[in-house]
Structure 1
Amino acid sequence: MPFAASSGARIYWKLEGADGKPALVLLNSIGTDLSLWDAVLPALLASFRVLRLDTRGHGASDAPAGDYSLAMLADDVSAAMDAAGIDRAAVAGVSLGGMIAMELALSRPERVSALALICTSATMDKAAWQERIAKVRTGGTAAIADLAMQRFLSPAFAAGQPAVAESVRRSLVAMNSEGYAGAGAAIRDMDLIGQLPALACPVLVVVGERDASTPFAGHGENLLAAIPAAKLDRLDCGHLAPLEAPAALAGALRAFLQPGPDVAAAAETLFEAGLGNRRRVLGDAWVDRSLANRTPFNAEFQAMITRVAWQEIWSRPGLDDRTRRLIVLAITASLGRWEEFRLHVRAGLTSGGFTRDELKELLMQTAIYAGVPAGNTGFAEAAAVMKEIDAAG
């Protein structure tokens, strides 16, 4: 694992992408590690060489005791850039990551070509952060987990993606308490707002419309007022934009950092994001066969379905994957779309998307509301798929 030495700590970093691409540094929020960016990364690697790092006190980086400062954390980023062989880069940061990015651009302007400040602020409540730090140093990160989760994710996303929400919570509770408290002190003590007019590089301010932690009012608006010529982008998400709106965030970053007409690149971003959802729901084998069967005649249709159905619809936060699968089965059975019905039965049963008992109950409901013939054929088609699954397993 690559580490950079900085102010008595080892800072874990990871560099991905082609060497000839422009450098982009991604910084995570407090309470998360570099995996926060996992869903965004595939849409960025075609255009950028991406450096991610675990903030001091987080992930695989060291977590020395005591208070950290934004200057210290900016030094860590600079050390990671040195270790990765990057002299100058665009820097995008979420929450604490955005604060570190501002500090780095102010203290080392020669190293920062552009800033993307995502769901962040330069004016946080010092007393509230001191109270949070005290709780963590007394009772660990579990003592503030409920509060943090309320501020991390929008209620709709947390309800619709419970597995993601639980993973975020689990990582937060498991992290080093001294690391969280130390990073919290950097937020508590930051003094950035008066310095922001000195920023000379291009700046994008990204706000989440459902962000309860650093909303536009009182946070994003202050950044826009203080930073000369800053641009604004609004996303339909909570505080952790890379989790809730990865495709939209990737599109915003690409549009800002590579301005100009890029319709093809935007379409490719949505396609790649949709392809990930398609693989998750239907499985790699089926998707690979589908891609192999593309022809000049149907390729555009396949691309459209992947962008719209699998990205726009399957990425919406209102429903979880299990509920969507069952809805698809009910609709395809009711309409007699048996090829699609069999596809989703097989994918759901082999991937743990739902149980055979749940499928049975769904078909009973279908028989009542869509007609006994639809239910009867649905049972027959499902039984045939289950027989094939049992024979193969």
Structure 2
Amino acid sequence: MPFAASNDARIYWKLEGTDDKPALVLLNSIGTDLGLWDAAMPALLTAFRVLRLDTRGHGASDAPGGDYSLALLADDVAAVMDTAGIPQAAIAGVSLGGMIAMELALSRPERVSALALICTSATMDKAAWQDRITKVRTGGTAAIADLAMQRFLSPAFSAGQPAITESVRRNLVAMNSEGYAGAGAAIRDMELIDRIPSLTCPTLVIVGERDASTPFAGHGENLLAAMPGATLERLDCGHLAPLEAPATLAGALRAFLSPGPDTQDAAEALFEAGLKNRRRVLGDDWVDRSLANRTPFNADFQAMITRIAWQEIWSRPGLDDRTRRLLVLAITASLGRWEEFRLHVRAGLTRGGFTRDDLKEVLMQTAIYAGVPAGNSAFAEAAAVMKEIEAAG
């Protein structure tokens, strides 16, 4: 594992992408690790060489006891950039990551070509953060998990993506309490708002319309007031934008940091992201066969449905995968689209997407609302698929 030595701590980092692309450093929020950015990476790697790191006290990085400061955390980022051989980069940070990014740009302006400040602030409630630090140091991160989750994710995302939500909570509860408390002290003690007017690098301020932690009012608006030359971007998401709106966030970063006509690159990024979803839902074997059967006549159509259906629709946060799968079954049965129906029955049953009982209930509902003939055909088609699955294995 790659580590950088910084002020008596080892900082874990990960560098991805080709050397011919401009460097982009991604910083995570308090209570998360570099995996926060995983869903956005396919769309970012087509345009950038991406350096991620676990903030001191988080993930695989060391978690020394005591209070941390933004200056200390900015030193860590500079040390990682040195170790990775990156003299200058654009810096994008979420929440605490955005605060560290501002500190780095203030203390080492030559290292920062541009800033993207995502769901962050230059002023936070000191008393509230002191209370949180005290609770963590006495009761661990589990003591503040409920509060943190309410401020991390929007209610709609939490309801629609329970697996992701539980993973975020599990990682928060499992993290080093001293690390969380130390990083919390850096937020409590930050002094940025009076200093950031001196920043001269291009700056993008991204706010989440459903962000309960650092909303536009009182946070994003203060950043813009202090930096009149900054650009504002609003996303339909909660506090952890890389989780709730990865493709939209990546598009905003690409548009700001790499302006110009890169429509083809953007299309390729969306295709790759959609292909990842398609493989997750339908399986590699089916997707590989579909790709192998592309022809000059249908290739553009295949690319379009991968970008739109599998990226734009299947990546939306409002519904989980199980619900989407069952909706597809009901709709394709109602319309008599049996090839597509059989495909999704097979994929769902063989990939743990739903149970046979789930399938039966959907088809019962379909028979009432789409007609008994449609339900009858759907039961027959589903039975044939289940027989084939049993025969195969």
- What TM-score, normalized by structure 1, do the two folds share? 0.98
Residues 1:112 and 2:101 aligned together: no
CA distance in 2, matches of 1:303, 1:223: 40
Q: Secondary structure at the match of 2:64?
A: coil
Q: Deviations over 1:174-219 (max 9, x none)?
A: 0000000000000000000001111111100011111110011111
Separation (CA, whole Å) in 1 of partners of 2:165 and 2:328: 24
Residue 125 of structure 1 and its aligned partner are, at CA, apart by: 0.5
**3-state SS of the aligned residue for 1:297?**
coil
Which residue of the partner structure matches residue 153 of structure 2?
A: 153
CA–CA distance in structure 1, aligned partners of residues 231 and 139 of structure 2: 40
Q: Residues 249-275 of structure 1: CA distance to partner in whole angstroms, max 9, x if unpaired?
A: 110111111111222222222222222
SS at match of 1:326: helix
Which residue number corresponds to residue 194 of structure 2? 194
Specify the alignment match of 1:390 in structure 2. Answer: 390
With 39-48 and 159-168 compared, the bigger mean Cα shift is at 39-48
Deviations 1:24-71 (A, max 9, x none): 100000000000010111111111111100000000000000000000
Give ranges in structure 1 of 5+ residues lacking alignment: none
Q: Where does residue 313 of structure 2 map in the other structure? A: 313
Counterpart position of 2:89 = 89
Conserved? CA contact 1:27–1:34, under 8 Å: yes
> Which residue pairs with 1:61 in the alignment?
61
CA displacement 1:226-283 (0-9 Å, x = unmatched):
1141011111110000000000011011111111122222222222222222111111
Number of the residue aligned with 1:174: 174
Three-state SS of the structure 2 residue aligned to 1:353 is: coil
3-state SS in 2 of match to 1:39: helix
User: Are 1:370 and 2:365 matched, yes or no?
Assistant: no
RMSD of aligned residue pairs (Cα, Å): 0.9
**Aligned letter for 2:330?**
A
Match of 2:270 in 1: 270
* Aligned mates of 1:81, 1:179 — CA distance in 2: 21
CA distance in 2, matches of 1:291, 1:135: 53
Separation of aligned partners in 2, 1:68 and 1:304:
48
SS at match of 1:221: helix
1:90 partner letter: A
In the alignment, structure 1 residue 303 sits paired with structure 2 residue 310:
no
Does the 8 A contact of 2:116 with 2:204 survive in 1?
yes
Q: Structure 1 residue 116: deviation in Å?
A: 0.5
2:217 alignment partner, SS class: helix
Q: Percent identity?
A: 87
Structure 2 residue runs of 5 or longer lacking an equivalent are: none
Q: Which amino acid aligns with 2:36?
A: L
**Conservation of the 8 A alpha-carbon contact between 2:26 and 2:92:** yes
Q: Measure, in 2, the Cα distance between the counterparts of 1:42 and 1:310.
A: 14
Deviations 1:84-117 (A, max 9, x none): 0111111100000000000000000010001000
Q: What per-residue deviation string (whole Å, max 9, x for no partner) do you get for residues 282-330 of structure 1? A: 1111112111211111111112111221122212222111111111101
Asked if the contact 2:46/2:265 (under 8 Å) is kept, the reply is no
Query: Which amino acid is the alignment partner of residue 211 of structure 1?
Result: D
User: In 2, Cα distance between the equivalents of 1:272 and 1:193?
Assistant: 39
Structure 1 Cα separation of the partners of residues 2 and 17 of structure 2? 16
Aligned residue for 1:338? 338
Q: Which residue in 2 is equivalent to 1:250?
A: 250
Tell me which stretches of 4 or more aligned residues in structure 1 moved more than 6 Å.
Answer: none
Q: Distance in 1 between matches of 2:285 and 2:192?
A: 51
Question: 1:228-243 to 2 correspondence within 5 Å?
Answer: 228-243=228-243
2: CA distance between counterparts of 1:158 and 1:267? 29
What CA distance in whole angstroms lies between the structure 2 residues aligned with 1:219 and 1:113?
A: 23
Q: Secondary structure at the match of 2:45?
A: coil
Structure 2 match to 1:45: 45
C-alpha distance in 1 between matches for 2:170 and 2:286: 32
Do 1:197 and 1:226's aligned partners in 2 also have CA atoms closer than 8 Å? Answer: yes
Quick one: distance in 2 between partners of 1:286 and 1:45? 26
Q: Aligned letter for 1:346?
A: R
Q: Give the superposition deviation at 1:222.
A: 0.7
Asked if the contact 2:46–2:269 (Cα under 8 Å) also holds between the matched residues in 1, the reply is no
With the length of structure 2 as denominator, give the TM-score of the two structures: 0.98
Write the deviation string for residues 342-361 of structure 1: whole angstroms up to 9, x where unpaired. 00000000111100111111
Partner of 2:75: 75
Amino acid at match of 2:6: S
